[in-house]
Amino acid sequence: MFLRNCLCLALLASLAGCATTASQCNASDSNASLIGKLNCDYGGGYAEGVRNSEQELLSAKEQNRQFNEVYAQLSALQASTRQDLQSQQRQQASLEKSLNDLLGTLKARHGNKSDVQKQIAGLEQQLKANQATPSQNASNAQIEARKQKLAALQQQVSRLQLSLGYE
């Protein structure tokens, strides 16, 4: 009889273990009974919880990889934009310096001609107006506009040179 009761209890415990789900099995639950823990272990509740946690971890790793990829692309784009702006500013400064040098030599050679002095003064004023506008935080449109103004100034200087007989 005792054996029969033990066998019935074992059968009942095994059936109860099959009835538990992964959501009912929490390995960190310190209030669970020994039979409840055995049911979760025997029924695969703990194993399913581990598989779910591993899947969540893999998903989080993939999401982290995607975030890192986007961050790297944004950093590369920012560095590229910064380099482009710096190279444009260097080119503009070089152009302004060469224009100033040219105007200085024209002044020195033709300082006694009033019409040439007026043209040179007008060019210098336009150049100073271009230099007075802030180059920091300038948008691409502003930079392009300044480049066009400087190109127009170069053409005026070239016309002035031709009118003076220089090539």
116-151: per-residue pLDDT in tens? 778 878 878 887 777 666 555 567 777 778 778 777
Q: Residue 19 in contact with residue 40, Cβ under 8 Å?
A: no
Residue 48 has pLDDT above 60, yes or no: yes
**In the chain, how many domains are there?**
2
**Residues 38, 56: one domain?**
no
Q: Residue 157 in contact with residue 99, Cβ under 8 Å?
A: yes
**Residues 61, 19: one domain?**
no
**Residues 79, 157: one domain?**
yes
Residue 120 amino acid letter: I
- Report pTM: 0.44
**Model confidence over 57-71: pLDDT tens digits?**
998 888 888 888 887
In this prediction, residue 17 carries a pLDDT of 46
Nearest to 106, CA basis, from 164, 167, 153: 164
Nearest to 157, CA basis, from 87, 112, 96: 96
**Residues 92, 140: one domain?**
yes
**Residues 61, 83: one domain?**
yes
Nearest to 150, CA basis, from 94, 75, 111: 94
- List the alpha helices (DSSP H) in 34-139: 34-43, 45-109, 114-132
**Residues 8, 67: one domain?**
no
Quote the domain boundaries for residue 3: 1-43
Q: What angle do CA 96, 97, 100 make, to 5 degrees?
A: 85
**Residues 25, 51: one domain?**
no
**Model confidence over 81-124: pLDDT tens digits?**
777 778 878 877 887 888 788 777 777 777 777 777 788 788 78
